[in-house]
Amino acid sequence: MNIRVRYAPSPTGFQHIGGIRTALFNYLFARSGGGKFILRLEDTDRARCDPVYEQNLYGTFVWLGIHWDEGPDLGGPVGPYVQSQRTDLYQRYVQELLEKGRAYRCFCSTERLEKIRTEREAARSPETGYDRHCRNIGGEESSRRAAAGETFTVRLRIPLDRGNVTRFTDKLLGDIEWKNSDINPDPVLLKSDGFPTYHLANVVDDHLMEITHILRAQEWLSSVPLHVILYDALGWEPPVFCHLPMVMGQDGKKLSKRHGATSIDEFRRQGYLPEALLNYTAFLGCSYEEGRDLYTAEEMEKLFSLDKLNKAPAIFDYKKLEWYNGQYIRMKTSEDLAALSMPWAQDLFGKSGEETTAEPAGPTEEQKTLYTEAMDLVRERANFLPEIPGKVGYLFSEPVPPAPEEFIPKKSDLASAVSLLRMGKELISAFFSGGKSVSDEEAERIVKEKAEKENVKLGDLLMPLRVAITGSRVSPPLFASIRLLGAERCRQRIDAALTACSTLLSILGG
């Protein structure tokens, strides 16, 4: 069988985790079986559609690197792929359903429908939906009223003979049976403005686009019985249904904004990498190889299978996603990581010469090189892109001078801090002897030797030096920082620290 699957979003909101999980599973399923992945825009709810959401859809998938084979932008053999451009088609099938008696016109006004709703509510009636008022209007009368210009909708006639049930099989959930009396009573297929509803357009398009498998969120499961009736009414074979497990927050409730970011734009703004989001999303309801978490897109394409889907709901774990993000940051080259984190780094590079220009000037070539080199210092220490610039800020501007006490090692005093800082200054000269910086391994050897010779603890020697150079007791690797800053800037920082400590020492002493 030639697999054909689709992602069929309505452009009525921003792309979020649930949506991209559906798209990704369809995409992986198509790729795993050498099939086609189709994008179809279900824009029949005209009031709620907005081009902004359509742009967001395209932007999101470009960013994620998910490509479809046929779609509104690419075209294809069964287009157009936008439902609002297919209204003639739907009307043709509505006509067929009317002729077969499988659908009927409803002439009820919105006021009437609203009235029965409020009356039922007042009476606390368990009945909901349409009361099938127009179900038995004869064909002739119906055609006459339509021809006379009365407004109408077209409704699906749900079979209600005694014992009527609708059965279907879901690939994941198994055999499912619905009493027809429990199905939405005669749902609207065609609205009074001539536009189809979701049900009609979805079924007609899945058939005409030769969709073989429907993989979508479980919230659509309740629509399947009426879709099955519609397929039958049109004399068509339904595709394979496969409703994906729900995605929940840690509290077991459906994932929503309360749990954290859900829209893809938000993840992007927070500095997530597309690879991390994709890799993690691929796990929301599917298992791959035992004990393995990291997969390239190509690997997932090979491994994905409907048999690996889980029935149990998937729990969205932001901590795990953060872990993935960290892992993908570790895999980046310095050039890529610098480019990716650059949007958050503008404050590092200062403003342009003229004070009046509000725009940051952007990095000079020299700053760009330094920033790129600095990526080696933070790659292992950042889980999010926006964290990166802050961690290397001390390479670009002088750190806020720490209070003199900050330079004092444990169980030591200010006088020792001063002598340790002086030793630190000598180390700088040793690191750059001959005008070139030594390797980080060599620097380490030199420091150890110095500590031994001066009879001080290695940690005590390094601590004040680290604070002077980086402005903090906790920092990226010290020797690499020194190497990137160069001898001159390091000496200046140590001198500043020495001045602060010596001044305080003389005040205290004198």
- Binding interface with ligand GLU (CB under 6 A): 8-10, 42, 202, 216, 220
What is the radius of gyration, based on Cα positions, of the chain?
Answer: 33
Contact partner at residue 106 from Zn ion, ligand GLU, none, CB < 5 to 8 Å by partner kind: Zn ion
Contact partner at residue 133 from ligand GLU, Zn ion, none, CB < 5 to 8 Å by partner kind: Zn ion
Site for Zn ion, residues 65 to 124, rule: CB under 5 A: 106, 108
Q: What is the DSSP letter of 369?
A: H
Name the β-bridge partners of 271. none
What does 127-147 look like in DSSP terms, one character per residue? Answer: --S---TTTT--HHHHHHHHH
Residue 133 binds to Zn ion (criterion: CB under 5 A): yes
What does 246-279 look like in DSSP terms, one character per residue? Answer: PEE-TTSSBP-GGGS--BHHHHHHTT--HHHHHH
Is 257 designated active site? yes
**Which residue number, 131 or 376, has a Cβ lying nearer to Zn ion?**
131
**Which residue number, 42 or 406, has a Cβ lying nearer to ligand GLU?**
42
Nearest to 20, CA basis, from 283, 249, 308, 204 = 283
**Which residue number, 56 or 202, has a Cβ lying nearer to ligand GLU?**
202
User: In this structure, are residues 444 and 471 in contact, taking their beta carbons and an 8 Å threshold?
Assistant: no
Contact partner at residue 8 from Zn ion, ligand GLU, none, CB < 5 to 8 Å by partner kind: ligand GLU
User: In this structure, are residues 478 and 437 in contact, taking their beta carbons and an 8 Å threshold?
Assistant: no
Helix, strand, coil percentages (3-state) for the chain, rounded to 5, are 50, 10, 35
CB of 8 to ligand GLU, least distance (A): 4
Neighbours of 181 (CB within 10 A): 11
Name the β-bridge partners of 106. 153
**Which residue number, 116 or 487, has a Cβ lying nearer to Zn ion?**
116
CB of 217 to ligand GLU, least distance (A): 7
Distances (CA, A) of 82 to 6, 16, 78, 278: 13, 20, 11, 26
CB of 27 to ligand GLU, least distance (A): 14
CB of 121 to Zn ion, least distance (A): 19
CB of 187 to Zn ion, least distance (A): 12
CB of 235 to ligand GLU, least distance (A): 21
Contact partner at residue 268 from Zn ion, ligand GLU, none, CB < 5 to 8 Å by partner kind: none
Give the pair of three-digit tokens for residue 41: 């825009």
The label of the residue with tokens 């055999």 reads 175
Contact partner at residue 108 from Zn ion, ligand GLU, none, CB < 5 to 8 Å by partner kind: Zn ion
The label of the residue with tokens 């029965």 reads 116
Applying CB under 5 A, what is the total number of residues that bind Zn ion? 4
Rounded Cα gap, residues 29 and 23, in angstroms: 10
Q: What is the DSSP letter of 114?
A: H
**Which residue number, 10 or 32, has a Cβ lying nearer to ligand GLU?**
10
CB of 155 to Zn ion, least distance (A): 7
Q: Which residues contact 10 (CB under 8 A, 6 or more apart)?
A: 41, 42, 43, 44, 45, 48, 49, 198
Rounded Cα gap, residues 22 and 6, in angstroms: 9
Contact partner at residue 10 from Zn ion, ligand GLU, none, CB < 5 to 8 Å by partner kind: ligand GLU
**Which residue number, 107 or 220, has a Cβ lying nearer to ligand GLU?**
220
Peptide bond into 245 cis (omega under 30): no
Which run of H or of E encompasses 452?
helix 440-454
Rounded Cα gap, residues 340 and 397, in angstroms: 21
Rounded Cα gap, residues 20 and 377, in angstroms: 34
CB of 62 to ligand GLU, least distance (A): 20
Binder among 39, 41, 64, 134 for Zn ion (CB under 5 A): 134
Contact partner at residue 420 from Zn ion, ligand GLU, none, CB < 5 to 8 Å by partner kind: none
CB of 122 to Zn ion, least distance (A): 21
Helices (H), 192-255: 198-208, 224-234
Contact partner at residue 351 from Zn ion, ligand GLU, none, CB < 5 to 8 Å by partner kind: none
Query: Of 257, 308, 320, 448, which residue is the catalytic one?
Result: 257
**Which residue number, 135 or 450, has a Cβ lying nearer to Zn ion?**
135
Nearest to 317, CA basis, from 259, 356, 392, 369 = 259
Q: Which residues contact 49 (CB under 8 A, 6 or more apart)?
A: 10, 11, 12, 43
**Which residue number, 9 or 464, has a Cβ lying nearer to ligand GLU?**
9
- Range in contact with Zn ion (rule: CB under 5 A) among 126-134, 279-287, 421-429, 455-463: 126-134
**Which residue number, 29 or 152, has a Cβ lying nearer to Zn ion?**
152
Contact partner at residue 134 from Zn ion, ligand GLU, none, CB < 5 to 8 Å by partner kind: Zn ion
Site for Zn ion, residues 302 to 361, rule: CB under 5 A: none
Binding residues for Zn ion (CB under 5 A): 106, 108, 133-134
Catalytic residues: 257
